[in-house]
A = this chain, B = another copy of it.
Amino acid sequence: MPSFFRRNVEAMEGYVPGEQPRDADSVVKLNTNENPYPPSRAVGEALSSFDASMLRLYPDPMCRAFREAAAEAHGVSPENIIVGNGSDDILTIATRSFVPEGGLIAKVSPSYTLYRTLAEIQGAACLDIPLEEDFSLPFDAAESAEGASLFFLPRPNAPTGTAFAKDAVRGLCERFDGVVLIDEAYAAFADDDCLDLPFEYPNAIVSRTLSKSHSLAGARLGYAIATEEMVAGMMKVKDSYNVNALTQALATAAIKDGAWLEENVRNIRGNRAALSAALSGMGFDVVESAANFVLASPPDGGAKALYERLKSDGIFVRWFDEDRVRRFVRITVGTEKEIESLLSALRRVYG
């Protein structure tokens, strides 16, 4: 039987998301960078006051209420914001907006593997630009990426957790001919962000998600901040009703609660410091993190064995079978109690 699929789709493997164990309650889940704390109380209130009968109507295709709230939170205009069904949707919209079939996407390496999958789905090539030894951005990244239409740059980067120097990001925006999509999925936990860059460089787009920063991975809401022209063009590419009505209501409540965000980030950063220090104390090689996870290499270098050992203890972390990070495990910053469970298990192994 002939395949009906495009050749690029036929050939690709498909993205493999981190494991989602069915019985999430009985495991310590530190593998997919979820926020360990429940979302703002305002989210629960928006949920319980939502009238189920309204679900019969289509949601607002323009996500006006959320865009107004997000614009207020970031000091930009609603016209600078496009909303997606998670930031995966934003990344897909950007790919379809800027990259033709047969085109080229640039990404750094090691980085988020989904970027390559997005290129494969689009039928585009994907160029890996190796990071420096210390996971910093090479000074000639723009030149290396010549010919690409789109450069995916996560800041903080995953799975390294490092934040590229902002001047290096500026240099990339300045010198790269295509669009630079700065993926700020983890920026809430970093010392600074790049939300000002789209207003300095018209080829810069910053994407955000409420998944990690607002404990709303299950609700699926991401957004991008860019010039009005960029937003207007990407609006043509998105599915009309791409964000459901419940998520719009919950996300709007969440982003308005700035006090919750501040406290949550303080807690995560505190736990991150404690986790990093404890790991270093056990002889782990710990990469300094600006995100809500820590990349750490065990003293014996046996990261895969450690990942498996922890999994059999009911503790899920992530291990990537990939050059440069094979000797590390990536550990999401959990609650104090989850970190204690992890450290106990590690003490049993490393004494």
Contacts and interface: CB of A to CB of B under 8 A. Distances in A.
B230 A244 contact: no
Given A101-B100, A239-B89, A250-B55, A178 B17 contact: no
B101 A101 contact: yes
Sorted nearest first, the 3 A-B pairs with minimum C-beta distance are A38-B53, A218-B245, A101-B101
Number of copies: 2
Contacts of A92: 239
A88 interface: yes
A247 interface: yes
B57 A218 contact: yes
Helix, strand, loop or mixed for chain A's interface?
loop
A350 interface: no
A351 to B, nearest CB: 33
A240 B52 contact: no
Interface string A32-69: 10111111000110011010111111111100000000
Interface in A1-46: 1, 3-6, 9-10, 12-15, 17-18, 20, 24, 29, 32, 34-39, 43-44
A220 interface: yes
A235 interface: yes
